[in-house]
Every structure is written in C-alpha cells, then in structure tokens.
Amino acid sequence: MINKIGKVTVYVKDQELAKDFWINKVGFVLKFEQAMGPNMSWIEVGPSKDEFTTLVLYSKSAMEQQNPSAVSHPSILFSTTDIESAYEKMNQNGVEVDEMQRLPFGTMFSFKDQDGNNYLLREDK
C-alpha cells in the first residue's frame, strides 16, 4: 500500500518566480529540474536534499490546457520543529505571513507564495 507522499504539484503562473520563492525565501533546495519543451520545465523543490517528498512547480497555463479542472490549489500543511525561527525567517525574507496561532493542539501560521496561494506551517515537537 501507500507508505509515503512522493510529490505535491503546485500550479504556478511563472515557474522561475516560484522557484525563487521556494528556494530564496522559504529556504527549500532545488531537487530536480529538466526542460519539458519550450518555455516549460519540470521543477521539484523540497525542504532538504534528503527529504523524500517534493513540491512540483508546474506551469498553471500548461495544466489549464491539459486538464482545466486540475488547477485548483491543494491544501498543503508543512511541518517544522522550530515555529518561531521559521516565522521570523519568512518575515525577514518578505513572505506574507499571517499571525501566529497558538492552539491547544499546536502552534501554526499561514503564509502565501508568490501567486497568493495559502499554505500552513505547523510545529511538530
């Protein structure tokens, strides 16, 4: 059966801007990049070189031509062991972050990428 999440595809307007956002603002690493034809690449980023799960930064316009109903944004929840540092670093890097939420079941905050898509970062201890 299924034992891991391999890839999550995020549909983006500009792959280069998305790559810059995830690498230079969020601190991910480039895991894989390969041309797929004119003006489009297969780009994968992840939290570290060793992390199995990656985000695929896929061209939104290409997917709208291939399968228009597939481009709605997925709900993605990331994990960290140091929420305070992550919040501060994203703030310093110009990432749009919401206020920290300290709830009985965990501390978390939402943030937006370069296209305005929402994500959630939650602390796992």
Q: What is the pTM (predicted TM-score) of this model?
A: 0.79
Structure tokens, 23: 């690498």
Residue listed under structure tokens 């944004």: 73
- Cα–Cα distance for residue pair 95/80, rounded to 1 Å: 16
Query: Is the pLDDT score of 30 beyond 90?
Result: yes
Nearest one of 93, 96, 119 to 108, comparing CA atoms: 119
* Residue 84's CATH number: 3.10.180.10
- Cα–Cα distance for residue pair 14/19, rounded to 1 Å: 9
Indicate the residue among 67, 85, 115 that finishes a domain: 67
Highest mean pLDDT among 11-25, 36-50, 101-115: 11-25
Tell me which residue range forms the domain holding 98: 75-125
What local confidence, expressed as pLDDT, does residue 99 receive? 95
Asked if 60 and 81 sit in the same domain, the reply is no
